[in-house]
């Protein structure tokens, strides 16, 4: 897995951040423990019911591990991009959730062409600049309604 080979940075753009898969989650956490800077950009404005709320527990875990989490501010982010060490780019249909990893028929393209990656990096940078860095207080000080939606989302997260 490419996350295990990362030496400097991992950037993930995903509309859905529900990394229930333990192997992938462990690879991200292990990368962070090795000193790899990990950034996750997700869409808090979702086109799917309860997806944002299902992400809250994972965002809390990510923040505790020193993973940077950003919420896209300019509408729905629907891109699926992984950039590792600014040398390997994955683009495709895979969301960062269980459905994409285990249920749906998804596909990513692995790109190692430095010229192509150099053209995509400014797009990723712009998306990060159009985002808000998520803090612990953002996901710990939820309204009662949001807390209830999070509990319901937890019951159905595999299907989201």
CATH of the domain at 107: 3.30.870.10
Q: Which two tokens stand for residue 57?
A: 């527990």
User: Tens of pLDDT along 103-130?
Assistant: 556 667 788 999 999 999 999 999 999 9
The Cα–Cα gap between 101 and 116 comes to 26
Number of domains composing the chain: 1
Task: Provide the b/e sequence for 16-36 (b: ≥16 CB within 10 Å).
Answer: bbbbbeeeebebbbebbeeeb
The Cα–Cα gap between 141 and 37 comes to 26
Q: Give the residue numbers spanning the domain of 125.
A: 2-159
Tens place of pLDDT for every residue, the chain, 160 residues?
788 899 999 999 988 888 877 888 899 999 999 999 999 999 887 777 787 888 898 999 999 999 999 999 988 877 889 899 999 998 876 665 555 555 556 667 788 999 999 999 999 999 999 999 999 999 888 889 988 888 888 887 766 6
What H or E segment, with its residue span, contains residue 118?
Answer: helix 114-129
pTM of this prediction? 0.86
CA angle 31/158/100 to nearest 5° reads 60
C-alpha dihedral, 94 to 97 to 102 to 105, nearest 10° = -30
Q: Give the number of other CB atoms < 10 A from CB of residue 118.
A: 10
The Cα–Cα gap between 42 and 20 comes to 15
Residues in the chain: 160
Give the count of alpha carbons within 13 A of 6, CB side only.
29
């Amino acid at each position: 897995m490419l996350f295990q080979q990362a030496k400097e940075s991992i950037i993930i753009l995903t509309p859905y951040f529900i990394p229930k898969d333990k192997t992938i989650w462990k690879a991200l956490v292990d990368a962070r423990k090795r000193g790899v800077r990990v950034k996750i950009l997700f869409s808090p404005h979702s086109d799917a019911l309860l997806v944002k709320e299902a992400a809250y527990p994972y965002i809390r875990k990510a923040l505790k591990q020193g993973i940077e989490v950003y919420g896209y501010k300019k509408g729905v982010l629907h891109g699926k991009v992984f950039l590792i060490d600014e040398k390997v780019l994955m683009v495709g249909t895979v969301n960062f959730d269980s459905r994409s990893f285990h249920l749906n028929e998804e596909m990513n393209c692995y790109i190692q062409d430095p010229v192509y990656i150099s053209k995509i990096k400014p797009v990723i940078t712009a998306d990060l600049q159009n985002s808000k860095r998520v803090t612990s207080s953002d996901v710990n000080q939820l309204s009662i309604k949001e807390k209830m939606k999070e509990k319901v989302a937890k019951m159905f997260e595999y299907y989201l």
